[in-house]
Amino acid sequence: MGSSALILLLIVGIAFSVGGILISKWFAKSSASKVKGEPYECGIPTTGTSWIQFNVGYYLFALIFLIFDVELVFMYPWAVAVKKIGMVGLVEIVIFMFILFMGLLYAWKKGALKWM
């Protein structure tokens, strides 16, 4: 179908989800009350704001992920060509991966992979 398939899928996805939600709005009974709109928490009133601070660990993992994800993007063109390049391609990727692996070991040693 070619690239117009992307537009089709986009339209189908939006139409289906928005349409479904709107149809249910038409069918469903709705009533408003003050308690109903409160955040769902075991029944006791919520203390403070719900947009709380979260663990810095998530941020650390996101940083390490970024390094390796860029590595992965570099590896796609290499993977397509490596059968034609042969041994040189293998040696280069071993060096490339070794450097990255050192990075992982450094992060490991520094305790970035430990959950606090």
Partner 1 sequence: MNLLLTISFSSVASGIHNWLVSTIPNELLAKSVEMVIAGICLLLFLVPLCFILGYMERKVAGFMQMRYGPNRVGPYGSLQIVADTVKLVMKEGLTPTGSDKFLFNLAPVIMVVTCMLVLAPIAFAKDFQIWDINIGVLYVSAISSLAVIGILMAGWSSYNKYSLLGAMRSGAQIVSYELSVGLSLISIVILTGSLKMSDIVMSQETGWWIIRGHIPVIISFVIFVIASTAEINRAPFDLAEAEQELTAGFHTEYAGMKFAMFLLAEYINLFIVSAIAATLFLGGWMPFHIGHWQEFNHIMDFVPSSLWFLGKTFFIIFIIMQFRWTFPRLRVDQLLTLEWKYLLPISMVNTILVTVMAIMGWHF
Looking at residues 56 to 85 of the shown chain, list those that interact with partner 1 (rule: CB under 8 A). Answer: 57-58, 61-62, 64-65, 68-69, 72, 75-76, 79-84
Touching partner 1, residues 12-41 (CB under 8 A): 12-18, 20-21, 23-25, 27-31, 34, 36-41
Task: State in angstroms the smallest separation of the CB of 8 from partner 1.
Answer: 5
Task: State in angstroms the smallest separation of the CB of 12 from partner 1.
Answer: 5
Q: How many residues bind partner 1 (CB under 8 A)?
A: 72
| Distance in angstroms (rounded) separating the CA atoms of residues 16 and 112 | 42
Task: State in angstroms the smallest separation of the CB of 48 from partner 1.
Answer: 9
Position 75, amino acid: M
Establish if 103 lies at the interface with partner 1 (CB under 8 A): no
Residue 93 burial by Cβ neighbours in a 10 Å radius (0-12, 13-18, 19+): middle
Task: State in angstroms the smallest separation of the CB of 25 from partner 1.
Answer: 6
Give me the helix-helix angle, 87-109 and 57-85, nearest 10°: 170
| Distance in angstroms (rounded) separating the CA atoms of residues 16 and 21 | 9
| Distance in angstroms (rounded) separating the CA atoms of residues 70 and 51 | 31
Among 9, 95, 99, 102, binds partner 1 (CB under 8 A): 9
* Residue 60, CA atoms < 13 Å, CB-side half-sphere: 14
Establish if 10 lies at the interface with partner 1 (CB under 8 A): yes
